[in-house]
């Protein structure tokens, strides 16, 4: 799972999330919840947390099984923690390879003809770093 800091950076760069069952997220409600609650990781599931499209946007509805009172929140109040496969898919045609190094993983992408490599001990983090670079160059 990628770090919250990297997930927040991806969100700030403009990564769009379309919640689906199995997606993980954290709350992004500064000054509204306790830090330990904000650090909790939630999973979208039809049984407990359901993605609901409304005329004003996507809402994550909590179906009464959480420890604290929260009916729903807008997608803007959540930080998506994409999985490794989702990050790879988001890289689309720029992805070239994933290699295991001695103490890290290396993700190679090609953006505008340039081959770029991103290393991290966690493959998900390396993918996320590459995606952040791709989004940054697209903006």
Left, alpha or beta for 26 (phi > 0: left; psi -120 to 50: alpha)? Answer: beta
Residue 66 has pLDDT above 80, yes or no: no
Listed in sequence order, the residues at least 6 apart from 132 whose beta carbon sits closer than 8 Å to its beta carbon are 6, 9, 10, 13
What residues does each domain of the chain span? 18-80, 84-138
3-state secondary structure 90-105: HHHHHEEEEEECCCCE
Identify the residue with better confidence: 39 or 106.
106
| The pLDDT of residue 134 | 97
Most confident of 42-46, 48-52, 125-129: 125-129
Of 69, 13, 63, 68, nearest to 43 by C-alpha is 63
DSSP code of 39? T
- Residue 49's Cβ-side half-sphere holds a number of Cα atoms within 13 Å equal to 24
- Per-residue pLDDT, averaged over 115-121, amounts to 98
More confident residue, 57 or 12: 12
Q: What's the rounded Cα separation, in Å, for the pair 75 and 93?
A: 27
Cβ contact 63:45 at 8 Å:
no
Is the pLDDT score of 62 beyond 80? no
pLDDT tens profile 26-40: 988 766 556 666 678
For the full predicted model, state whether its pTM sits above 0.85.
Answer: no
Please give the sequence-ordered ranges of beta strands (E in DSSP) within 1-139, or none if there are none. 24-27, 42-43, 49-54, 57-62, 72-74, 78-80, 95-100, 105-111, 114-120
For position 44, what pLDDT does the model report? 83
């Amino acid at each position: 799972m990628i770090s919250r800091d990297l997930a927040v950076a991806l969100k700030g760069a403009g990564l769009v999330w379309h919640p689906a069952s199995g997606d993980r997220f954290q709350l992004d409600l500064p000054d509204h919840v306790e830090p330990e609650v904000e650090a909790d990781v939630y999973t979208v599931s039809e049984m407990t947390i359901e993605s609901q499209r409304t005329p004003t946007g996507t809402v994550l509805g909590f179906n009464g099984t959480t420890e604290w009172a929260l009916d729903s929140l807008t997608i803007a109040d959540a930080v998506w923690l994409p999985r490794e496969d989702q990050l790879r898919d988001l890289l689309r045609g720029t992805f070239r390879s994933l290699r295991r190094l001695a103490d890290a993983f290396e993700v190679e992408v090609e953006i505008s003809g340039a081959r770029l490599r991103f290393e991290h001990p966690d493959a998900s983090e390396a993918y996320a770093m590459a995606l952040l670079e791709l989004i940054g160059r697209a903006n």
